[in-house]
Amino acid sequence: MKKIMFVCKKNSRRSQMAEGFAKVIGAGKIEVSSSGLEASHVDPMTVKVMAEIGIDISHQTSKALNQFNPQEFDAVISLCGCGVNLPEAWVVREIFEDWQLEDPEGHDIEKFRAVRDQVKERVEKLIAL
């Protein structure tokens, strides 16, 4: 079973969305985690926009990348352009992508929804590989 790590700066919004989508879309096919260059908190607006489409991420927590071993993951996906800041062991996995999606922090709910939809589309394509 493939293991995927979604990484963002603070593991608060985009990577949390990706984890939530991947757990639903890839159920039984993949294992998934998310983390940040530093741990923070899961943004309540992120929880809200995911709940709108029936995905409950309220139990997810923000975790730091250094809590994980890169050798345990087949794919590493950066959602924010932070790939250039990742230690080399993370970027040399079987699959590495840097999606560079806009951070919805500080924007209205419509921006969160737009980013959510972009994340969903990317996760669907990734899992279909």
CB 115 within 8 A of CB 101: yes
Angle between helices 14-25 and 44-51 (to 10 degrees): 30
Among candidate residues 4, 7, 8, 127, the one labeled active-site is 8
DSSP secondary structure, 65-88, as one string: GGGS-GGG-SEEEESSSGGGGS-H
d(CA 16, CA 3): 16
Quote the CA–CA distance of 90 and 96 in Å, as a whole number. Answer: 8
- Look at the block and give the residue holding tokens 């071993």: 69
Which letter does DSSP use for residue 94 in this model?
S
Residue from 22, 80, 115, 127 carrying the catalytic annotation: 80
**Residue 82 is a catalytic residue:** no
Active site residues: 8, 80
